[in-house]
Amino acid sequence: MNVAKTAPTGFRQRFMTGETLVGTFVKTPATHPIEILGQSGFEFVVIDEEHAPWDRVAIDGALLAARASGTAGIVRVAEPSAARILAVLDDGATGILVPHVSSVAKAKEIAQACRFRGGRRGFSNTTRAGNFGAVGVWAHVDAQDAQTTFIAMIEDPEALDEIDSIVATDGLDGVFIGRGDLTVALGAPAMDAPEIMGACEKIIAAAKKAGKPVAMMVANQDDARRFHTMGTTTFIVASDQGFMRQAAMKAYAEISSVGAKSA
């Protein structure tokens, strides 16, 4: 278990300096999948509040499990309200992944909600993030501003029109390209259609210009290599449920075939 390497305090620096990082979505509101994933070497997990039945109590436990297993806990928030962002950061999230950041105004608003200095994050150090009061006021402010990671999901056609300005927003640490939403929004036949690949190239070029890292969900090693060549350094693969489904199907197919072969 590589706790020292993937602890919350180190994730933002590793992400922003372009290290190759691998994570996965967690959709089951339980702690055990996160412990297993962290112990398996994943540098981060994304607790998926947007598309799975997570509530604050479950997220709180999940973030504790992430810390215990040495993986960074990122929360994909269901909505980018200041209150929602504050809740997950106070509970100990390493950062947030925010869907549908389609304008500079929205990116600025979220960045301010993530930061104390130059921002509008509500203060309390009597939380897990502040070691329940053990960290002093300004030490907490400085530590959180240094550690908290804001990754914007670029997945709307209108975001492409001002992508350079969005990515350059102060306080935004990097972007995630939402190929699925872009595919549906643009009516493309597949996620590797020319218009989608063109959008990816445009987003990656803007990120390179601004010196910001790019994250991407990939299907396999070949997919990861393709986007790594283009400039992506952080990868999300599958989910806890996806891994379980793949392993379950494989196990069932192998064992159920024994009877057929015997017959």
pLDDT band at 259 (very low <50, low <70, confident <90, very high): confident
Look at residue 263 in the predicted model and tell me its pLDDT: 53
Reported pTM? 0.94
Each residue's pLDDT tens digit, 188-208: 999 999 999 999 999 999 999
DSSP 3-state of 51 = coil
Rounded Cα–Cα distance for residues 175 and 110 (Å): 13
pLDDT band at 153 (very low <50, low <70, confident <90, very high): very high
Look at residue 189 in the predicted model and tell me its pLDDT: 97
Rounded Cα–Cα distance for residues 28 and 21 (Å): 22
Range 221-235 average pLDDT: 97
In angstroms, what CA-CA distances link 60 with 64, 117, 130, 140, 157? Answer: 6, 25, 14, 19, 34
- The residues spanned by each domain of the chain are 3-262
DSSP 3-state of 23 = strand
Each residue's pLDDT tens digit, 52-95: 999 999 999 999 999 999 999 999 999 999 999 999 999 999 99
CATH for the stretch 3-262: 3.20.20.60
Look at residue 4 in the predicted model and tell me its pLDDT: 42
